[in-house]
Amino acid sequence: MSGHIRAVIDTNALQHNFSVIRARAGAARVMAVVKANAYGHGLMATASALRAADAFGVARLEEGILLRRAGITQPIVLLEGVFDAQQLERAAEHRLDLVVHDALQIGLLERPQAGAQRFVLWIKIDTGMNRLGFPVAEFAAALERLRRLAPAARELRLLTHLACANERDDAVTREQLARFRHATRGLEYAVSIANSAGLFGAVPLQCDWVRPGVALYGASPFADCSAEDLGLRPVMTLESSVIAVRRVARGERVGYGGAWVAARDSVIAIVAAGYGDGLHRSLATGAPVLVGGRRAPLAGRVSMDMLAVDVSELGEVRIGTPALLWGPGLAVEEVARHAGTIPYELLCAVNQRVQLVVGRPEAG
């Protein structure tokens, strides 16, 4: 291995996770959420590996266009919708489905120049997230305007987003679900409620579409439950190698600010990985790294291109010894806890200078 960090994407694990999700979803269709460069896993590679998905969800227009240009034929849903006439025109050109969450977006669809395209429209209802969506009291009026579009929408669907589904059997989720059911009573449109946490949580959501994100990539949406517990496999292995080995005497300091002090004569391995690659500087001393397949603690602060690991207990470590930041054997959820964050953020933060390798190359 070279001295450069890389993210290896295991498409077999991705497809395994999709099959677990498909089984969990039952009769519901699956919209694979691939926004933010597929949570750092590579937009094109991920979508290509998930040809069995019923649709893809992206946040931005540009992501949807990239997928179409790459030959993706499934429905692609713009989860934030569009915000001006030019974006609407481009969405029509690339046959993208739209989430509608604001009166401005309805106004764009009502303009005559939009009339040539019949969109699939997802009407978002705000049931307590207080981020995007029509408040329950405004939903009926919004729906009526969308029903009167000329030409008519190709299909209307409904969705909402859960604020606390990652807390398992949470009262907030039940409250949101009750608001959604009340607002949509008597309507026969397809609905989408469940994200990854909602899909694996304890509250039965009974929806026609599920929208898994982080679970696709083999990370758990729950603090009290690992991905392995859910039957999921890590898709990304973030790996690098040792580029220097230092012997440090007791009492000597390592790294910026001298934050780590050797409590004994120690051996320190310097690994080519840092916050310039997307690793969090907030990773605490003691955070685990797998060096040569064995755990060793981070020593001091993560710097831009390097981090130091105390390998005193590991025996022989040399330049070129593999170092794994997360992946099989070291769950990204565990690393996230040491950084005071969530696995979503670590995965999405992987920088573009990190080499993305789809599938593990054969040895030799």
Q: Annotated catalytic residue: which of 35, 39, 124, 217?
A: 35
Total number of residues shown for the chain: 364
| Residue 191, strand partner residues | 158
The answer to whether the beta carbons of residues 269 and 290 sit under 8 Å apart is: no
In the set 39, 189, 256, 344, the catalytic residue is 256
Any idea what the Cα angle at residue 181 is, between residues 180 and 183, rounded to 5°? 65
Dihedrals phi, psi of 303, to nearest 5 degrees: -105, -175
CA-based end-to-end distance of the chain = 10
Under a CB-based contact definition with an 8 Å cutoff, are residues 175 and 192 in contact?
A: no
Report the phi/psi class of residue 357: left, alpha or beta, with left for phi > 0 and alpha for psi in -120 to 50.
beta
Please give the helix or strand (H or E) that residue 355 lies within, else none: strand 355-358
User: Is residue 130 within 8 Å of 160, Cβ to Cβ?
Assistant: no
Dihedral through CA 145, CA 61, CA 78, CA 121, nearest 10? 30
* φ, ψ (nearest 5 deg) of residue 319: -55, 130
344 is catalytic: no
Question: Is 124 an active-site residue?
Answer: no
Name the β-bridge partners of 358. 9
Angle between helices 103-110 and 136-147 (to 10 degrees): 10
Give the separation between CA 253 and CA 257, rounded to whole angstroms. Answer: 9
Integer Cα distance of 171 and 278 in angstroms: 35
Residue 63, classed as helix, strand or coil, is: helix
Catalytic residues: 35, 256
